Amino acid sequence: MNTKERIKGKERIKNVEKFTSAQEYYPYQLQYKALLEYAIRTFPTEEIVYRDELRYSYAEFYERVKKLANILETLGVEKGDVVGTVDWNTHWHMEVYNAVPCLGAILHPVNPRLSRGHIEYIINHAEDKVLFVGEDFVPIIEDLQDKLKHVKSYVIMAKKEFDTELKNVYFYEDLMKDAKSDYEFPDLSEDTVFSIGYTSGTTGLPKGAWFTHRMAVLHTLSWSTFYASHFGINRNDVILHIVPMYHVHSWGYPFMALVLGEKQVFPGRLTPDIIWKLIDREKVTHIAMVPTVLRMMLDFQEIEKYDASSLRLILIGGSPLPKGLLEEAKNKLNELGADVEILSGYGMTETFPNITRAVLKKHMENWSWEDKVEVYTKTGIPGILVDIRVVDEEMNDVPKDGKTMGELVYRAPWITPGYLKNQEKSDEAWRGGWWHTGDMAVWDEEGYIKIQDRDKDVVKSGGEWISSLILEELISTHPGVAEVCVIGVPHKKWQERPVAIVVPRVEYKERLTEESIVEHLMQFVPDKIPKWWLPDKVVFVDEIPKTSVGKFDKKVVREKFKGLFET
């Protein structure tokens, strides 16, 4: 091609109005059903396992999903109707997870750990038309049914029938017996609403974040690629679904596992013995959880009975990963024969939820263990298609020095457009064209984010900020500390002062003292924290209140200890 021809080519490209949109010939829509159908035709023999009770192939799973679509239509579910679920991580729940959105209806997983008042509120607020209920949660819904304004029928997910006070009730497996498996899922606009997920309501009434098929597809493809490229996850892997399916789509793992062709193991009601048993029997390779579940697993007295050698990856989210917990887990799992990578990540109800993961970059792979721990316990780097900033109150980027705090804001194609029936909160969260998290963070030259605190959890002392998360992380490295929660307590002179609420490890319960905690922290002064950050008091307790998803409920803890400095 000569110079004149190249110039003419450039001119043609500039005149884009001369080109016909590809969408004019084939208006392709990003629909979740395409991912499901890909998984079924590519990995038909892969397995789905439920506890000791069921094992079937992806192909058999798909037959049941199509049966369920016919059942939903028989129950009067139409495109745009909301279908609620109240259950543990079960194969039934997985079938509903797929049939409802592929039908064009809206999936609404309900958190059964919320208060009765909040469960009633979100089912009514979302206007659930049909409610699928796991056997363990039938009593809760029985108590609420007269207050549920929009629910027309209930489907109980259980192996066999039993007596219930629910009206217009069906049993899942009875419906399955007569249902036809011949079903073709409709073509949908990618802007069709896929699901609704509600916040836990720790600061007021729960808010409903909604997502479209386009968001579900892009999140699934983006993070499947991320996990395949960073961890090599593929059809030879086995995932145990520990993150509750009522908690932000189980962090998206049921959808990603289908696309990656993994064996999927569903544990039902979570207990440490079930977790370890399934890891051993099914040769699980990776799991995800909040730190409190990892704590529960490590504290299980019969842990040595099980073979964990297949386990190679543990992904932590929901709240920061304490260094002490990471070190303890790494050592214990090494003893059990597992060479496992443990790292943190970040997301929210409003983000489907994945935003970051604390993966090592290639040049970090030969770093010392201590330096790797510094990376693993950060909030992480953004995933594919995610833009992140840390900003001051004027929306200016703060320096990438790992020290200057600002608010974490971000954009990604799967962040909720807003809150259902709450335009004011939606506009507030999206101000300036970026989603505002309320999380105070720092970032560094490598692009790693580290959340220092929630805006409401930062200890405000003498006009300065103290990060409760940094103090928690450092205190967690004391060998006698099982759990620690740091809060700001009102103080006449300083506005607030930090107080550490500590659960001692069993073997340290009688000998762990306030002085030993403060002495432990002194080794980090002044390199990591200034001396004035040291907690004014350390309180030892048997248990720290937690939210429905296993995070420390700092609102409750602050209320309990708010008068500590008044005496």
Catalytic residues: 199, 350, 460, 465
Nearest to 84 by CA among 102, 118, 110, 112: 110
- How far apart CA 516 and CA 523 sit, in angstroms, is 11
Nearest to 313 by CA among 292, 329, 296, 297: 329
- How far apart CA 305 and CA 280 sit, in angstroms, is 9
Q: Which residues of 358-379 are buried (b: 16+ CB within 10 A; e: fewer)?
A: bbbeeeeeeeeeeebbebbbbb
Task: Provide the token pair at 373.
Answer: 């721990």
- How far apart CA 409 and CA 450 sit, in angstroms, is 13
Nearest to 153 by CA among 67, 93, 83: 83
Question: Which residues have C-beta within 8 Å of that of residue 359, sequence separation ≥ 6?
Answer: 230, 343, 380, 381
Cα separation of the two ends of the chain: 87
Question: Which residues have C-beta within 8 Å of that of residue 186, sequence separation ≥ 6?
Answer: 79, 103, 104
- How far apart CA 142 and CA 431 sit, in angstroms, is 41
CB 304: neighbour CB atoms within 10 A? 11
Query: Helix (H) and strand (E) counts for the chain?
Result: 18, 25
Burial class (CB in 10 A: 0-12, 13-18, 19+), 95: buried
101 upstream amide cis, omega within 30 of 0: no
CB 311 within 8 A of CB 285: yes
Largest CA distance in the chain: 88
- How far apart CA 38 and CA 354 sit, in angstroms, is 22
Question: Which residues have C-beta within 8 Å of that of residue 295, sequence separation ≥ 6?
Answer: 325, 482, 483
Collapsing DSSP to helix, strand or coil, 285 comes out as: coil
Amino acid at 253: Y
- How far apart CA 35 and CA 101 sit, in angstroms, is 12
Nearest to 222 by CA among 384, 38, 358: 384
Amino acid at 544: I
- How far apart CA 95 and CA 82 sit, in angstroms, is 16
Parallel, antiparallel or unpaired: strands 47-50 and 263-266: parallel
CB 261 within 8 A of CB 42: yes
